[in-house]
Structure 1
Amino acid sequence: MTDSQSVTAAAPESDEDPQESLVKADSDVLDPETDEVDSAPVRADDALRYFGADFDVDGLVKRLNNGTFIIPTFEPLAEDDIAGFEGFQRGLVWKKKQMDRFIESILLGYPVPGIFLVELADRRYLVLDGQQRLTTLQAFKRGTYRSVRGLSKFALRYVGDEFKGHTYENLEPTQQRIFDNTFIQATIVVPKGAEGKRGVYSLFERINSGGTNLKPQQIRVALYAGETVNFVRDLNQDPNWRTLFGPQNRDLKDHELILRAISLMPTARGIQVFRPPMARFLNDYLEVSQDQLPADAEVIRARFTKATALLNEARGVRALKIRGTQVNAAHTDAVLVGLMSALEQRADISAQDVSAALTALLENERYQYAISESTSHAEQVSARIKLAAMAFRGESLADEQE
């Protein structure tokens, strides 16, 4: 065991909180579509059935330990993978004081808020709501949690005198039984029919509790984990893309923008019509392609890699930004799709060509409108992709101002 992994029994208050993600919390992406409203939301009765069940704490922890209950994780750089839900540790955790107070509440006999679980096809259960409560229960019974200083001993500190300094192991047997036998109510949600996952996605958005809600792409990587999510994750490591976008994003907006580019390629080819809202479009794409990559996945990878290299050489960190420091989401999906599409027809596009095309696009009033107003409307998406593809093919945009 290394020094960074050694168990620490006592630590200054500033060092004992659970380790948070090193990925920045705030998004440097300008994306008006984040606030778009689904005009035809799915009804719960059409997509879900649900029932209640009670679990004692001991049973909950055992199910977490054996993988029956899965807590989705969201950190792009996580080393520990959960099968089927690989590589995304959220990193937004309770402080040690919150953890201690929660455990003390159970030991004092107070009721515990319920949790939401989603039943998967293999009869495992995805934790939809209640992640922090369950991981705190698991850590206390295990006796350790991962803190800023490494692996720390889970001894209660921010509690009354009766339990101060106690771990699970040195609780009185009666107190251990109180902890283990406390019942927590679970609402178990079962997706049904073609709208099942869409219903779960909607529920995920609506019941997110606590101070930090999950973001759309974080929900997607939990619900639609599979080949396509992992493909996007791999592309997200491309060094030129990292220069263009910037640091890894905790909201997974970098993943989402790559997903948008991939899913919009058929629209650029004229074989698919984009139908808003964007969130549902992306969900529908993953629903179909969750476990099977497109036949031309390696071609997409090669063109994405070529496109990011050209953009980086042409404009560097300014390539995806209109003004200021924020990446413009609509500009980004248009530029990626347009350039990747153009590369299908012109393999000899140079960085100078790309720079000239970007200048032409940003001087075009129709393009400016398509990336700044009603950006998820079908005609706006089609217009900006068409204009970007034309520009990167070297065609004039002079007649494309209206």
Structure 2
Amino acid sequence: MTRRDEGPSSAQVELAEGQIVEQSKRIDFFLTEYSVELLAQKMRDNEYVVPAYQREFTWESARKSRFLESLIMGLPVPFIFFWEMPDGRLEIVDGSQRLRTIREFIFDGFRLGELEQLTDVSGFGFDDLPESRQRKIKNRSVRGIVLNEHADEAARLDMFDRINTGSKIANYAEIRRGALAGPFLNLVVELSGSKLLADLAPMSEKAKKERGYEELVTRLFAYGDGLEEYRDRPSDFLFSYSKKMNDVLTYSPETADVYRRRFQSVLEFVDRNFPFGFKKIPSGRATPRTRFESIAIGVDSALSEFPELDEYPPERLEVDTWISSAEFQHIVSSDGANAISRLRGRIGYVKEKLVACVGD
């Protein structure tokens, strides 16, 4: 009988409960309600803070019109999530598109597109409606959830992502790029455009547009620099790492060149010694993230400890003897991929295979 069949042990249950309690402490909130008129005024007067990662994502006219149709009809609309900043201002965690649409409709002359239910209202602006209807719309209330100031940046971004799961919205790489603009993110963007990276680690056009290469570059550096603060949550870890590295490169710009050389060394080593690059098969058109992590960070770690590996000929390293093995395929499988034990295991596997060649 396997451990899975037996169920979790008492120690595992205690550990799980501790994690639930710890994560729950990050989110403390209260409920409130705002009139549409108040929300529009505060957006017009710039009293709400729109975080950088939300600014570039704008609803198209049809989506704005559909939302406003619901508002005019008096249908319930989703909660607006705010974070109460230490200075008392409210940052919009989720809902900036709704709030901007409300402001545009009431104050900025936005005209409704083709509506599904209120067909006779299609093409109207707010001022075209009877005054009585204008008042009713302004008096409608929208419910809000306000997180207290103890909800850290990573917690707020995680909430934003969870609320918008399945929507046409930013992913974690996009969010980091918007929220953490700075020298490290600039370096990541620069390196993500590498032609050699694209050749060794192909991905779909969709993945490229979702900044898939930026995610790979960030993971190479973040995991390669150490997993001491990793807690089985890649998004939190990568966010904290990127924020820290922005500070490092701000005060020490020359460090960027160290990371550029490190990145290039890994790619050139893989190009020389790994028969399919980061791909599973020669004709592969996609690169599993776990496979990239195993190879790229394993190589990075091995070269850091034994730089002389860079001078070894491919026949001495014999990568082709294990890279397609069932053992390696199991190591890079996605089951429990983000658990630190699995992450350390797949990175360590490649490193140990390479280091074993030293002195042969």
TM-score normalised over the length of structure 1: 0.64
- Residue type at the aligned position of 1:331: R
What letter is aligned with 1:319? G
Identify which of 342, 346, 354 aligns with 1:380.
342
Matched, 1:237 2:193: yes
Structure with more contact order per residue of length (Cα contacts < 8 Å, sep ≥ 6):
1
Q: 1:352 Cα shift?
A: 7.2
Give the conservation status (yes or no) of the 8 Å contact 1:68–1:124. yes
- Which residue pairs with 1:167 in the alignment? 125
Whether 1:46 and 2:25 are equivalent positions in the alignment is yes
Spell out, residue by residue over 1:64-93, the C-alpha distance to the aligned partner (whole angstroms, 9 max, x if none): 456543555xxxxxxxxx4xx49x8457x5
* Residue 332 of structure 1, CA deviation: 0.6
Q: Is 2:329 the counterpart of 1:371? A: no
In the TM superposition, what is the alpha-carbon distance from 1:56 to its structure 2 partner?
3.5
Partner of 1:200: 156
- Partner Cα distance (1:229, 1:273) in 2: 22
CA positional deviation for 1:166? 0.9
Q: Distance in 2 between matches of 1:164 and 1:303?
A: 57
Q: After alignment, is 38-47 or 102-111 more displaced?
A: 38-47
Instruction: Work out the CA distance in 1 between the residues paired with 2:277 and 2:190.
Output: 21
Q: Which residue is 2:219 aligned to? A: 260
1:161-219 deviations in Å (ceiling 9; x for gaps): 54222123534444444444433222111241xx7445435544554477567655456
CA contact 1:114–1:187 (8 Å) conserved in 2: yes
8 A contact 2:274–2:320 mirrored in 1:
no
Partner of 1:12: none
In the superposition, relative to structure 1, how do residues 363 and 102 fare at CA in structure 2: closer, same or farther (>3 Å)?
A: closer
Unaligned runs of 5+ residues in structure 1 are 1-37, 73-81, 145-153
Aligned to 1:60: 39
Structure exhibiting the larger radius of gyration computed from Cα positions: 2
Instruction: Work out whether 1:183 is the aligned partner of 2:148.
Output: no
1:235 offset after TM fit, Å? 3.1
Q: What pairs with 1:244-283 in structure 2 (closer than 5 Å)?
A: 244-246=201-203, 247=205, 248-267=207-226, 272-273=227-228, 275-279=230-234, 282-283=237-238
**Larger CA deviation: 347-356 vs 307-316:** 347-356
Partner of 1:286: 241
Mapped contact 1:261–1:336 kept (Cα < 8 A): yes
Q: Distance in 2 between matches of 1:237 and 1:277?
A: 28
Contact 1:339–1:388 (Cα < 8 Å) also in 2: yes
Amino acid in structure 2 at the alignment position of 1:346: P
* Structure 1 residues 365 and 55: alpha-carbon distance in aligned structure 2, compared to 1, 3 A threshold: same
Q: CA deviation at 1:397?
A: 12
Q: Identity rate of aligned residues, in percent?
A: 18
Mark the CA change 1:218 to 1:368 in structure 2 (over 3 Å): closer, same or farther. Answer: same
Across the two proteins, how many residue pairs are aligned to each other?
Answer: 331
**In structure 1, what is the equivalent of residue 8 of structure 2?**
none
Aligned equivalent of 1:334, options 294, 311, 330: 294
Kindly indicate whether residue 285 of structure 2 is the aligned counterpart of residue 325 of structure 1. Answer: yes
Measure the CA separation in 2 of the matches of 1:351 and 1:100.
63
Partner in structure 1 of residue 48 of structure 2: 69
Specify whether residues 307 and 121 from structure 1 end up closer, same or farther in structure 2 by C-alpha distance, changes over 3 A only. Answer: farther
Counterpart secondary structure, 1:186: strand
1:289 alignment partner AA: K
**Deviation at residue 312 of structure 1 after TM alignment:** 5.8
Give the Å deviation of 1:300.
1.5
Equivalence for 1:157: 114
Q: Distance in 2 between matches of 1:67 and 1:245?
A: 43
| Contact 2:322–2:328, Cα closer than 8 Å, also in 1 | yes
Q: Secondary structure at the match of 1:187?
A: strand
Q: Structure 2 regions of 5+ residues with no counterpart?
A: 1-14
Shift of 1:115: 1.0
Query: What's the CA shift string for 1:18-74, capped at 9, x where partnerless?
Result: xxxxxxxxxxxxxxxxxxxx94235565223322343333443454456543555xx
Q: Deviations over 1:357-400 (max 9, x none)?
A: 653451455433321254334443334323434556682799xx
Partner of 1:112: 77
Cα deviation 1:250-307 (Å, max 9, x = unaligned)? 554433322221111133xxxx547551426625743862652366443113321343
CA-based RMSD:
4.3
C-alpha deviations, 1:205-256, integer Å up to 9, x for none?
5544775676554565566666544543343233433443434545544333
Distance 1:359 1:116 in 2: 52
Contact 1:155–1:165 under 8 Å retained in 2: yes
Could you state the TM-score of these two structures normalised by the residue count of structure 2?
0.70
Match of 1:307 among 246, 256, 266: 266
